[in-house]
Amino acid sequence: MKTTFAYTYTILRYVHDITTGEFVNVGVALYAPQARYASAQCRTTYGGRLNKVFPGINGAHFRALMSHIQARFEEFGEQLASELPLNEPHNVMEFALSILPRDDSSLQWSPAGSGITANPTETLDKLFERMVTSHDEQPARKHRSDQDVWRNFKHSLEERRLLHHFQPKRISVKDDEVEFKYAWKNGLWHCLEPISFDLSDAENIREKAHQWLGQITSVKDAGDRFKLYFLVGQPQQEQLRPAFESAISILNKMSVDKQIFLEQDAGKLTDLIVQEVASHEASTKA
- The confidence score (pLDDT) of residue 85 equals 57
Q: What distance in Å separates the CA atoms of residue 142 and residue 125, rounded to the nearest whole number?
A: 17
Q: Is the pTM of this model over 0.75?
A: no
- The confidence score (pLDDT) of residue 86 equals 61
- The confidence score (pLDDT) of residue 16 equals 75
- The confidence score (pLDDT) of residue 46 equals 62
Residues 6+ apart with CB under 8 A from 57: 14, 46, 50, 51
Which residue from 20, 17, 97, 14 is spatially nearest to 59, judged by alpha carbons? 14
- The confidence score (pLDDT) of residue 93 equals 94
pLDDT tens-digit profile, the chain (286 residues): 678 999 999 999 988 776 666 788 999 999 999 988 999 999 876 655 666 666 666 777 788 888 889 888 988 888 887 766 567 888 999 999 999 998 877 889 999 999 999 999 899 999 999 998 887 665 555 678 888 888 777 877 777 777 778 888 999 999 999 999 889 888 899 999 999 999 888 999 999 999 999 999 999 999 999 999 999 999 988 899 999 999 999 999 999 999 999 988 878 888 888 888 777 677 766 5
Map 162-216 to HEC letters.
Answer: CHHHCEEEEEEECCEEEEEEEEEEECEEEEEEEEECCCCCHHHHHHHHHHHHHHH
| Cβ contact 101:109 at 8 Å | no
- The confidence score (pLDDT) of residue 4 equals 92
